[in-house]
Amino acid sequence: MSRLAELKIGIVGGGNMAAALIGGLIERGARASAIELAEPDEGARARLVGRYAIHAHPAVNAALGHCDAVILAVKPQHVHGASGELRVHRGSGVVVSIAAGIRSVDLARWLAPGVPIVRAMPNTPALIGQGISGLFAAPGVTPDERAIAAELLGAVGTTVWVDDEALLDVVTAVSGSGPAYFFYFMEALEDAAVRLGMARDAARLLAVQTCAGAAGLALQSGEPLASLRERVTSKGGTTFAGLEHLRLHQVAPAISGAVTAATDRARELGVEFGRD
């Protein structure tokens, strides 16, 4: 049973992710009047207040300090500054940071020792309620605070807990960056269809709906992905010919390398932004 209706929720930063979260939270039962947003840009504040009738403030203030949970939704380079503001006004609620790369030790240093911190890594399909977020709870976070964090991110999609903070870099590389890999793959499929004579609109639809349909099938069946692939790959057939070409060109190792490169970059960014 969702407790969203009982929670006072603070949000620092009123950008894309915050807008998606606010929409999802209200849709799932959170009270708009119990959402306190801090966002310096007057236009952004006005847009979100106009659309959702939440409370908005130009900076972090006591209203956010009284919240059961505060979501930090600013760009990584602004987390240090925003944490400093939150340090002054913070109450006892859990802080949920969705900032890419910023480590919980650095957040704790900036927010004050002992603050319950959950890190979350959402992805852009959150904008249509179909995101997936990796979550990590720093030591000392209670089961109740974990449940609150999962409910907040659950408002924009599925959630998965990791018990090692380093794995959030892998989440970043797989599902955070993942939509871009699939756009790249769909783009290539679309271009290939156009090259072979299809109209652009039809080619786009074939590529995108195939991606959505394959994902839907995989989610619904729960079978190993290899079994689903093998079922549509009869030896000597058309799919077989296509997949053989992908194998010959080392596409699977290339994807593995891409995920490793993105994981390494997420780790580097964490070190870079957490330095001061």
Sheet holding 69-72, edge to edge: 55-57, 35-38, 9-12, 69-72, 94-97, 117-121, 131-137, 157-161
Q: Which span (12-20, 47-55, 193-201, 206-214) binds ligand NAP, by CB under 6 A? A: 12-20
List the one residue from 16, 130, 158, 238 that touches ligand NAP (CB under 6 A). Answer: 16
Q: Is 154 in the site for ligand NAP (CB under 6 A)?
A: no
What tokens were used for 72? 């930090």
For the segment 51-90, give every residue that binds ligand NAP (CB under 6 A): 73-76, 78, 81-82, 85
Residue closest to ligand NAP, measured at CB: 15
Distance CA 35, CA 14 (A): 12
Number of residues that bind ligand NAP (CB under 6 A): 28
- Cα–Cα nearest to 141, from 186, 96, 85: 96
| Whether 57 contacts 48, CB under 8 Å | no
What crossing angle do the helices spanning 104-111 and 79-89 adopt, rounded to 10°?
40
For the segment 120-139, give every residue that binds ligand NAP (CB under 6 A): 121-124
Query: Is the CB of 8 or the CB of 45 nearer to ligand NAP?
Result: 45
Tell me whether residue 226 is exposed, middle or buried, using C-beta atoms within 10 angstroms of its C-beta: 0 to 12, 13 to 18, 19 or more.
exposed
Q: Which span (16-24, 150-158, 163-171, 217-225) binds ligand NAP, by CB under 6 A? A: 16-24
Q: Is 10 in the site for ligand NAP (CB under 6 A)?
A: no
For the segment 94-123, give every residue that binds ligand NAP (CB under 6 A): 98-100, 121-123
In three-state secondary structure terms, 130 is coil
Amino acid in the structure at residue 145? E
Q: Is 38 in the site for ligand NAP (CB under 6 A)?
A: yes
List the one residue from 10, 14, 23, 154 that touches ligand NAP (CB under 6 A). Answer: 14
Q: Which positions touch ligand NAP (CB under 6 A)?
A: 12-18, 38-41, 44, 73-76, 78, 81-82, 85, 98-100, 121-124, 176
